Structure 1
């Protein structure tokens, strides 16, 4: 349809980080996002859209269209020192778009591994890349740490280190690069795919002072800074949208806005009224904020309740581009453009949130599915969680904790806490009727529990082994002029060294950690959303 009438459809995606359900203006008017609100109101707001609870899994599923169980990235994130990345044999969304005649560009956060050059964005289908390779960097210095004394510079232009950018706020810098790409490209020559993956609103909470003023009435300092950072995202989207209009892209553009996971309440985010937070499989961790804005939409100005997942963007965008997914075997995503554009029924009826065998306590006696394995699945109206889904808090925004250590005293329920005599490991909810997961129906509807467990068992039969290798000391930035860069060269491949499932851990030869309490405290806060949170996923 679009291939004939609009041969040069321009595709533009914006992905802010760690933005919760309650962190956008059209869900919460105290958050000032006029641009996002307007774009969503004029397009299609996706109110039944799901992502993954942390960064790496969401990004891997966006770019491959496959569940984590099919990429080996079921467990946690890819840390800077880990020799891991997207599977070498697996095609990516930008590769398929390039085959369809697109020029492809990425600006912002990668977080899909970089231990070899073959893992870099420019080797995974992007014609250009400007941004950070790790999961969390300082907004001004571009420093990134993977532990005390293990820090380095992380800003890259294509495959080289972009030195000399210190002092420039990353959201502003990334937006400027995105606008430069749009300015330098001629939209009538080749269609363009731009992925703008902003660092905001990920920790650390850093913001130019001028953005804080509108939120000066917020008593909670973290919430105040977080809200101001959301406003920088809104401004970035406004500037990019203006560039789309100015340089002749807008008429044939499809603009997609999507978060990559839920928010962290104790670092200023809010998922209210949903349960849980980033790093958990409760709705607050996996229900994403998203909308599509485009002149090409047939039915605009509406809210869609159709079930959608982040894996769906791969076949949807390739289909829009006139590309072919027949050479992409094993896709878990669906082409949902008719659902978004015309309001047709979604082809998706279920979502596998994940199966993570590394979070497995002692075996249970479940005949269909080992309920001690951490897993979550959505089938129709029903959602099943097994194992340890993470802390099940409901955190009203007015009681957001001022200090990270105070989150534990927020509202909790007995079902969210392990009891001394028994450890609960099965929850069932009717998400359509109970989106806040207040009423556990596992005991009342055992037949539904068994049916969804059977689906988990079915998916598990197709799972590849978890790939979670130990840290590699060769990654240390001090060996590479102080920057995070690929450290495995030539034909040397790390994948062959690690087979099957690996426990978290270091190499046998441990690094000597400096005795520096301040350094340890600094590293702790820098990594709130990486290593510490990965232990709850």
Structure 2
């Protein structure tokens, strides 16, 4: 939601995944509010064709689906997860979704990661023929559970002893292959030079499958660095400032994608956005721009203000970390430096009290599970190559 709106989700009352679990709320409540303008709706004003291929999970009822939010082409599933192979029986706790599309009847699954790449390439080639600018939201669900991989990909990692980690690595390899196919399609169509490619994850790895967020502490749904600091790669050959192989130390967020695309099209950036044009930030070598970012997950919240992060978890004292000097968040500064925490507490408090209450709460089991995750959070250690 942050990526498509350029705004922190708490601005419109979102603090957890849109799961239809509370019986007193209509299913239509579980989605990105219709008051929010999405990236493809902005880009339509500049003649863009837009597509989302893969996972949606931003609302499944009428008015909340991709074609209702500005996307011209849509191929994928509306739920939060599904099987990677066809005709698999349902398992308790999973939410497999039917593949649907508004432009083709070819919705059978072979291996979903490869299928998503195929449809992305189909869309790219079609835009080349049409001669129109395009926005492609390639929304891969890999390597989200369930753990499923192709036999030939598993064979590449047969040296790994753990079956689950071997499968996870094979799934990441399939994602890498899929991204390579998409980049090759951009090269072959001659569109690569003037196409901004942004690759990023939405959160750190989750605790129930063999992911590893080393060297950071924390996991998916947590506000420690392991939950919110994720890989991000930007490629834009037409901009000489974005040099291949360079590394940027600037704090960048998913909310920056939308204003970046607006700026590249010569549009002004609306004042209500939380993001900013990230291309000048990526090119900066010194004098990093201090950022203030907010996270809210269920009943937990955090603010990153410059180098310092202030974290609130409801069953314990506030926490304060300098995530530059202490990126593993081992030294809680709050007990000895409450005076440093005070201005951050006020900023976070203002944010929490001037934004809407949660549009839909999480379930008790998820909330209590999140508290247990915080209890056991430790800096992760990368496993050996054969483990």
TM-score by length of 1: 0.63
3-state DSSP of counterpart to 1:73: coil
Whether contact under 8 Å (1:138, 1:144) holds in the other structure is no
CA 1:534–1:110 in structure 2 vs 1: closer, same or farther (change >3 Å)? farther
Q: Secondary structure at the residue paired with 2:310?
A: strand
Look up the SS of the partner of 1:256 in the other structure. Answer: strand
| 1:356-505 paired onto structure 2 within 5 Å | 359=299, 374-388=300-314, 424-468=316-360, 504=363
How far did residue 153 of structure 1 move?
4.3
RMSD: 2.5
Q: How many residues align?
A: 363
Report the 3-state secondary structure (helix = DSSP H, G, I; strand = E; otherwise coil) of the residue aligned with 1:456: helix
- With over 3 angstroms needed to count, the CA separation of the structure-2 counterparts of 1:175 and 1:133, relative to structure 1, is same
- Between 1 and 2, higher relative CO (CA 8 Å, sep ≥ 6) is seen in 1
| d(CA) in 1 for partners of 2:56, 2:180 | 22
What corresponds to 1:340 in structure 2?
Answer: 282
Structure with bigger gyration radius: 1
Call closer, same or farther: CA 1:347–1:103 in 2, change over 3 Å. Answer: farther
* CA separation of 1:152 and 1:178: change in aligned 2, threshold 3 A: closer
Cα deviation, residue 222, structure 1: 1.2
CA distance in 2, matches of 1:257, 1:93: 16
Matched residue, 2:17: 77
SS at match of 1:444: coil
TM-score (norm 2): 0.87
Cα contact 2:222–2:370 (8 A) shared by 1: yes
**Alpha-carbon distance in 2 for matches of 1:97, 1:451:** 38
1:425 Cα deviation from its structure 2 partner = 2.5
Equivalent residue, structure 1, for 2:184: 242
**Residue of structure 1 equivalent to 2:196:** 254
Residue 424 of structure 1: how far off its partner (Å): 2.8
> In the aligned structure 1, how far is the partner of 2:286 from the partner of 2:186?
28
SS of structure 1 residue aligned to 2:341 = helix
1:129 to 61, 74, 78: 74
- 1:334/1:90 CA distance change after superposition, 3 Å: same
State the shift of 1:341 in Å. 3.7
Counterparts of 1:1-80 in structure 2, within 5 Å, are 60-74=1-15, 76-79=16-19
Find the counterpart in structure 2 of residue 331 from structure 1. 273
Q: Does 1:141 align with 2:86?
A: yes
1:269 pairs with 2:211:
yes
Match for 1:304 among 248, 253, 258?
Answer: 248
Q: State the Cα distance separating 1:159 from its structure 2 match.
A: 8.6
Residue 345 to residue 165, structure 1, CA distance change in 2 (3 Å):
farther
- Superposition deviation, residue 348 in structure 1: 4.8
Shift of 1:186: 2.3
Q: Sort the Cα spacing of 1:199 and 1:254 in 2 relative to 1 into closer, same or farther, 3 A.
A: same
SS of the residue corresponding to residue 196 of structure 2 reads: strand
CA gap of 1:534–1:249, structure 2 versus 1, over 3 A, is farther
The residue that corresponds to 1:205 in the other structure is: 147
Distance 1:535 1:156, change over 3 A: farther
Structure 1 residue 246 displacement after superposition: 0.6
Q: Secondary structure at the residue paired with 1:253? A: coil
> Residue 259 and residue 533 in structure 1: after superposition, are their counterparts in 2 closer, same or farther (change >3 A)?
farther
Q: 1:214: Cα distance to partner?
A: 2.3
Q: 1:80 Cα shift?
A: 5.1
What do the CA deviations read for 1:71-120 (whole angstroms, capped 9, x no partner)? 2111x21125643211112111111011122111111101101122x101
For residue 123 of structure 2, the aligned residue among 170, 181, 205 is 181
Instruction: State whether residues 147 and 164 of structure 2, in contact with CA within 8 Å, keep that contact through their aligned partners in structure 1.
Output: yes
Structure 1: where are the runs of 5+ without partners?
A: 1-59, 360-373, 389-422, 469-501, 506-530
Post-superposition Cα deviations, 1:113-168, rounded to whole Å, max 9, x if no partner, equal 1122x1011110111110111001011137796967x96642110399x68614x1
